[in-house]
Chains A and B, each alone.
Chain A
Amino acid sequence: MSKTIIPFGPQHPVLPEPLHLKLTVEDEVVTEVIPALGFVHRGLEKLSEIRDFHQMVQVVERVCGICSVIHAMCYCHGIEEMMGIEVPPRAKFLRVIWSELHRMQSHLLWLGLFADSFGFEALFMQFWKIREKVMDISESTTGNRVIVSVNVVGGVRRDLNSEQISWILTLLKDIEQEIGALKKTLLTDYTITKRTVGKGVLTKHQAYGIGTVGPVLRGSGVVQDTRTLGYAAFNELNFEPVVESDGDCYARTKVRFRETLQSIDLIRQAMSKIPNGEINVKVKGKPQGEVVSRVEQPRGELLYYIKANGNKNLDRLRIRTPTFANIPAILTMLPGMYLSDVPVIVLSIDPCISCTER
């Protein structure tokens, strides 16, 4: 059978963002994949030369719309470590609460998009209906729906009062119940298992070897979660990384589904343990030195390298996003799969192209 080259993307119905894959196909089977990136490059790292290090918090939030809190948190951790700032304990817990809310909304968004990728529109709408409640919590507590601008160097900008906490806990109960009602459909439905089980298998050895991160790595049976390092207030919360061993699309779906419920549990724990006190400290001086900061994003480990030399502008800011680390996973998983499975497998790594290209 002769080879045919099929372009997948940059504009494709299943892709929310422009990712271009050049697929070499023999008959219906993919034999080779070449990715092309760079359609939404904005040069946000370069902006650190003209925006001061306080303003950069708002810039790095815009690296990714879906996990803005976590980007800002990672950047703030780096700058705080460099300047020797001790963040108040209440601010640490508030950061955990908002970052877990973001993980929840990101996973719910993905679960919806994933259902949409194999044509289960009704399930897609159910997940997004639940996500809307998380967005409401975000808007009422932080002021904005997605890019919430709540982190600053030295702490957080908003506090939660007891009324808000009890309102959030009531909403979380509803959300947990509604997600639980969809569990049977997502994990046992014939149409879903037929499209996901055994598709895009990544063995434990392969996943570790090509340096994947996040749910892709945990779906292949490697226990690795940056939250276990105990940044912010995670060292005071009880949780185990969610791990599945099969390494296929189904395992990754299960990891993300279970992580959504885990986030609810973490928010509850954080709310029960949150101490009273200040929410931010005054920042004086300018950063100097270099630092690497790591946190766990919904898609995996996020890494910031920050270098400063005592000016208000940073010398260098390098952002390594989880999707960038997971692109090799697509290239390993796709060869040998049918063309009709490509959208499902590509979406199973939860590609965030605006993150990758910054």
Chain B
Amino acid sequence: MFTFTSNILKNFLSQRATRRYPFETRSPFDGARGMLLNHIEKCNLCSICAVKCPSQCITVDRKALTWECDPFACVYCGICVDACPERALYQKPEYRQVAEKREMISLKGEIKKKVKKETDNGIESE
């Protein structure tokens, strides 16, 4: 009986365990995988990211020279970031904010050089 009383008293005297979100937020951890972004000036539109993405949220059109991503289909796994040969893709530690509308990220890029036939992990791109 009353085995929890000391714990309750301790909780009264200690700091609050929660934050007053959204007024007070925790800074993200350094290694956290948050929103996916693309340095389009580095991007070669090789479409390896589109091939490797497990949720198929990236579409690359090499004729229209566009790189498109559906941020609401992205599962934040970071496979595309690891696979990007140009290091153009990166993830911020912050998560994407809630939105009212479903919007696609559409970027206009350019093809700078020929794409290799085979990538390091043995999956062929274009």
Q: Which residues of A contact B (CB under 8 A)?
A: 51-52, 54-59, 62, 122-123, 126, 129, 132, 136, 139-144, 147, 149, 157-158, 181-182, 184-185, 188-190, 282-285, 312
Known: A122-B4, A123-B4. A282 touches B120 (CB 8 A): yes
Partner pick for B78 among A56, A140, A143, CB 8 A cutoff: A143
Contact call B1/A185, Cβ cutoff below 8 A: no
Give every chain B residue within 8 A of A51 (Cβ-Cβ): 54
Majority DSSP secondary structure for residues of B touching A: loop
Give every chain A residue within 8 A of B123 (Cβ-Cβ): 52, 54, 312
- B residues 28-83 in Cβ contact with A at 8 Å: 29-33, 52-55, 75-79, 82
- B residues 68-126 in Cβ contact with A at 8 Å: 75-79, 82, 120-123
Taken together as a complex, chains A and B put the C-alpha atoms of A158 and B29 apart, in Å, by: 15
Show 17 residue pairs from A and B whose CB-CB distance is below 8 angstroms, ordered by the A residue.
Answer: A58-B54, A58-B77, A58-B79, A59-B54, A139-B29, A142-B31, A144-B33, A144-B76, A147-B77, A149-B77, A149-B79, A185-B3, A185-B7, A189-B4, A190-B1, A284-B122, A312-B123
Given contacts A132-B17, A143-B76, A189-B1, 17 further A-B contacts (CB under 8 A): A54-B52, A54-B123, A57-B54, A58-B54, A58-B55, A59-B54, A122-B4, A129-B17, A139-B31, A143-B31, A144-B33, A144-B76, A149-B77, A182-B7, A185-B3, A282-B121, A284-B122
Contact call A181/B7, Cβ cutoff below 8 A: yes
CB distance from A271 to the nearest CB of B (A): 18
Which size class do B's interface residues fall under?
20 to 34
Give every chain A residue within 8 A of B29 (Cβ-Cβ): 136, 139-140
Contact call A157/B82, Cβ cutoff below 8 A: yes
Give every chain A residue within 8 A of B7 (Cβ-Cβ): 122, 126, 181-182, 185
